């Protein structure tokens, strides 16, 4: 099992509709390819973790890397894992929506990373706090 983490910068601005569509397609593909993960968006940057077979991740990341909705992808981690850390989610999504009363990116992320390794947890928590 492989786990891959990257960060990227949004190109232009993504509407709620655009994001919803991106997520729907991602979830459908990921379910089909047995890929799991978490995608964070703070209005400027994406932070995403992907988990699955070597082949599935290679193909998924190739598609994501050439997607014009974001740019400047930086691969932060690419490693072998024994067990999935985000096994329940075909693609969990948390978005910072400053001003909305339900918004608490840090709190939501804390719940999403309970099974993650210390490094992964720290990375996602610091991204959420900096948002």
63 touching ligand FMN, by CB under 6 A: yes
Residue 41, strand partner residues: 46, 95
Which DSSP symbol is given to 52?
A: E
Size of residue set near ligand FMN by CB under 6 A:
16
Distance CA 97, CA 112 (A): 17
The contact mask relative to ligand FMN for 6-45 (x = CB under 6 A, - = no) is: ----------------x--xx--xx--------x------
CB-based contact 32:97 (threshold 8 Å): no
The minimum distance between CB 101 and ligand FMN, in angstroms, equals 26
The minimum distance between CB 11 and ligand FMN, in angstroms, equals 9
Closest CA to 2 of 66, 73, 83: 83
131 touching ligand FMN, by CB under 6 A: no
56 touching ligand FMN, by CB under 6 A: no
> Where in 79-118 is the site for ligand FMN (CB under 6 A)?
91
Task: Give the dihedral sign, CA 29/6/88/101.
Answer: negative
């Amino acid at each position: 099992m492989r786990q891959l983490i990257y960060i990227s910068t949004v190109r232009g601005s993504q509407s709620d509709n655009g994001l919803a569509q991106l997520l729907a397609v991602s979830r459908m593909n990921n379910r089909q390819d047995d890929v799991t993960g978490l995608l964070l968006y703070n209005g400027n940057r994406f932070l995403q973790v992907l988990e699955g077979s070597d082949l599935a991740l290679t193909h998924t990341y190739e598609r994501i890397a050439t997607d014009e909705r974001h740019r400047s992808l930086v691969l932060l981690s690419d490693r072998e894992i024994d067990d999935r850390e985000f096994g329940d989610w075909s693609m969990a999504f948390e978005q910072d929506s400053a001003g909305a009363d339900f918004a608490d990116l840090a709190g939501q992320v804390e719940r999403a990373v309970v099974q993650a390794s210390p490094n992964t947890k720290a990375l996602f928590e610091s991204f959420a706090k900096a948002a």
